[in-house]
Amino acid sequence: MSLAFDPAAAVAHLRAADPPLARLVDQVGDFRLQPAATASVFGALSEAIVYQQLTGKAAATIYGRVKALFPSGPRGRNGHDGPTPEQILRVSDDKLRGAGLSRAKLLALRDLARRTADGSLPTLAEVQTMDDEAIIERLTEVRGIGRWTSEMLLIFRLGRPDVLPVDDYGVRKGFMIAFGKRELPAPRDVAQRGERWRPYRTVASWYLWRALELAKK
């Protein structure tokens, strides 16, 4: 999956639109976001459900166990792509719980699988023709999928240019650092400032995440 915009044009726009953000760009350097390969919306969201509220290492272990339940699952260029909706619908609750899934995540996976199987979840080809808000509206109908998870898919899987996850702690903390705020800004304050970053709020978000990383060094 490639970016759906020109990174150089995006950075130039942000520099001109917001001088304090331009200073952050100078500190961080080039924009380096590369969307992850995505075989299907179902695959991306099923992985996202497993990863919710867990550290990366713990989530990867559990997701590996889930995939191991289905050795005949689809395989892509990077190995096992994970289970199909039909496999999730057939497997027992005990096996999914045994892999480490909570009851809430088990129910979310089954709902996602049902919606995929009956055609109510848009396919990868379909989302390519939809605008961001329409995608968010459709995805958040799935149990366990909220706006934040949908925004992460838009940014890190689909490479959309104008996504600003104002509820994300890292974005808000990075905003506080970059703009010299004494307190964590409210989502509405990030959204208001973000109006000047349109139509490249994804790029601004990426730089705000980097601001938090720099502060930790």
Give the model confidence (pLDDT) of 91-119 as tens digits: 999 999 999 999 999 999 999 999 999 99
Same fold yes or no, 7-33+162-216 and 41-156? no
User: Both tokens of residue 154?
Assistant: 């838009």
Q: Are 147 and 183 in contact (CB under 8 A)?
A: no
Res. 206: pLDDT tops 80: yes
Helical (H) or strand (E) element with 80: strand 79-80
**Confidence band for 72, pLDDT divided at 50, 70 and 90:** low
- How far apart (Å, rounded) are the C-alpha atoms in residues 144 and 107? 8
Q: Name the maximum alpha-carbon separation found in the chain.
A: 56
- Gap between the Cα atoms of 14 and 1, Å rounded: 24
Domain ranges of the chain: 7-33+162-216, 41-156
| Token pair listed for 41 | 């919306």
What mean pLDDT is reported for the chain?
93
Q: Please give the class, per CATH, of domain 7-33+162-216.
A: mainly alpha
- Provide the annotated active-site residues: 168
pLDDT at 55: 82
CATH number of 41-156: 1.10.340.30
Q: Which two tokens stand for residue 117?
A: 């199987």
- Say if residues 106 and 120 touch (Cβ distance below 8 Å): no
Q: What is the pTM of this model?
A: 0.90
Q: Give residue 71's pLDDT band: very low, low, confident or very high (50, 70, 90).
A: confident
